[in-house]
Structure 1
Amino acid sequence: MEQTAICVVEEDGRKVVEGKVPTDPDAIAEWLAGEAGELERIGMETGPLAVWLWNELTKRGLPIVCLDARTQVRPSR
């Protein structure tokens, strides 16, 4: 995975900004610092690099959570 796609959204789901950066923790952190503004939470999809990226981005003080891409969220009845 040479590139990581990033999409910043508001709580209501409105897209703020999106882009692509090299799959490198420093590049991701720099892009977020320059483009995203104040971050409440960062959701990262599970994948082969998830453990490495989560650890490295956490070390950089980013509020990251890992999300299972295979899990379906169903509305409550």
Structure 2
Amino acid sequence: MELYPRALFLTDDAAARLAAEQRGYAVHGTIGLLIRAVRRGLRSAPEILSLLRVLPQRSTLHLRSSLLNAILARLENEWTK
């Protein structure tokens, strides 16, 4: 961590996430990375919302449908104001 103070650790694995956080890394997963892309103007909100809707069918990411629906509702509310 001392060598790379601004390093990010990208993972969706809970154990790896916990270990990285305990070592002081900023940890982000797939959804956080996609949201960040919109906020930085690298991707459009409609593009990411569309991608999130098909994520369960197109990836191996395990995400409860209730959690994904809550994330989608929050982002749609935030991005379509």
Could you state the TM-score of these two structures normalised by the residue count of structure 1?
0.32
Greater fraction of residues in helix = 2
Greater fraction of residues in strand = 1
Could you state the TM-score of these two structures normalised by the residue count of structure 2?
0.31
Q: Larger relative CO (CA 8 A, sep 6+): 1 or 2?
A: 1
> Which of the two has higher C-alpha Rg?
2
